[in-house]
Structure 1
Amino acid sequence: MQSRRLAAFFGAVALVGGLVGIGSATNEPRQTQGDIWRDEPAESRQTWWRRDLTDETANKILEGLRKRDPAKAKELDKLKSRDPERFKAELREAGQPELDQMTRDYLETRRQRRNAEFIEWLKANYPKQEQELTALKDKDTKLYVTSFEHLMTEYGAIFEASRSNPELGTVLKEDHELKKRVGELCRRLRSEKSDAKKQELGAELEVVVARRYDLIVRRKEIAYEQFLKRLEELQKQVIESKDEIAKYKDQKVKQENVRQRLQALTDNKVKFKWD
């Protein structure tokens, strides 16, 4: 039964063509359902503030545009109330530098927040390393950055796992320590001269390796459980997608959606003949 469910899972992944990432999360607002025009591919590739030009975003762009190109900003201010759709289209084009800066600011804010969270996590889980890192911050900025990157490389996977799945984070943390212990025991075995001591080290190594084996199995179990959970979500999405397609194939629904779209695009300035 479980093997069939896994087979269905990978089939579902193939069905959606990789558009839905396994276990991925995003901070972007999800598209509201019920508006077929929001499914256009060109929009789905854009960040949410580019795709959904809210009043707040538009005002930020205009604020920057007033400093950079006052004449264009004044022209767009007049257009805003007269033709909202055209205003948004022209604002996106004229405000490209502001949109690019918003993207950079957004990514930088996320990076800084993630780094701060990592340091707090490091303080709780590896206090010695955090203290050594903090001591470098005011003394040697370049060395601080290098040390931070080294710690992120070593502990980043554990940190990320602990945020989304605390048990997985615990498993990875213990396994990380055991891997270091395996390396240490192997080095001691290679240099040890006493047969009795070698036997002692070998016995400890066996215990550590056996524990690592159990942790690896548990890690795979956690991944399997996540796959099953994602499978259930994908199955639900497949059913919803099927129902949505059936709804939109209805001719009455099509006619009503086309009517509403034309009214929105023309602001009721054009009289259409409806059958």
Structure 2
Amino acid sequence: MRQILLDTETTGLRVEDGNRILEIAAVEMIDRKVSAADVHLHLYINPERDSEEGALNVHGLTTDFLADKPKFAHVVDQFLEFVRGSELIIHNAPFDVAFLNHELGKLKRGKIQDYVHSVIDTLAMAKDQFPGKRNSLDALCDRFEVDRSARVLHGALIDCELLAEVYLAMTRGQDSLLMDFVNDGSTDSNGQIVVRASRGALKVALPTPEELTLHESYLNDLDKIVKGQCLWHAIEAPPVPAEAAA
């Protein structure tokens, strides 16, 4: 399976205020193995406006630095080709999806959901696994002992690399049991992106006849050790009718 860890940096928090994307990073992961660095996609984008002060303090990407960078319209094909058909993994997916869809909408290119298989929100996953706890990317790095010492300012590429380690830690050995938080393109009454939780059918592995025989032999040995009936045999034993016990 081809998955893409994706993150964006923007000029501000609200797309409704005309804020734009100024950085996109996408880290490829195939069959749970992160691809070589030269395969990743990392784009700085001229947002055609200044960043809000709060956002600038977070990412540190100034208007002067971005002035000679390509506009989103000039990199959209490169970006869509890179993510096409993949499963996107994003921390706080509704935020990034809203900004991506805003940029694509300005170019009449549809929505990001039209190009990818699905979107997983790791923030929703974390809230399900750790209810009531802090579930920011920094908090998850600390919880899973992921080294984030190189993260001084928020940068899309380093955040993707950290998210890859966090996602692998969150899902290690539990892929078939975890809920998938998938964005299907729907919105709520306020126009916000809805990330839905869905769980596939639970797979039940039944023991083979050989395994049942070994299990019964083990229980018989336990009976001998306790000089009676072990608890498992007692549970499995059929109830004795009242008239037989009298």
**TM-score clears 0.5:** no
**Greater relative contact order, per chain length (Cα 8 Å cut-off, separation 6+):** 1
Kindly indicate which of the two structures has a greater share of residues assigned to strand: 2
| Range into which the TM-score falls when normalised by the shorter chain | under 0.3
The two structures have a TM-score, normalised by structure 2, of 0.25
The two structures have a TM-score, normalised by structure 1, of 0.23
Larger Rg: 1
Kindly indicate which of the two structures has a greater share of residues assigned to helix: 1
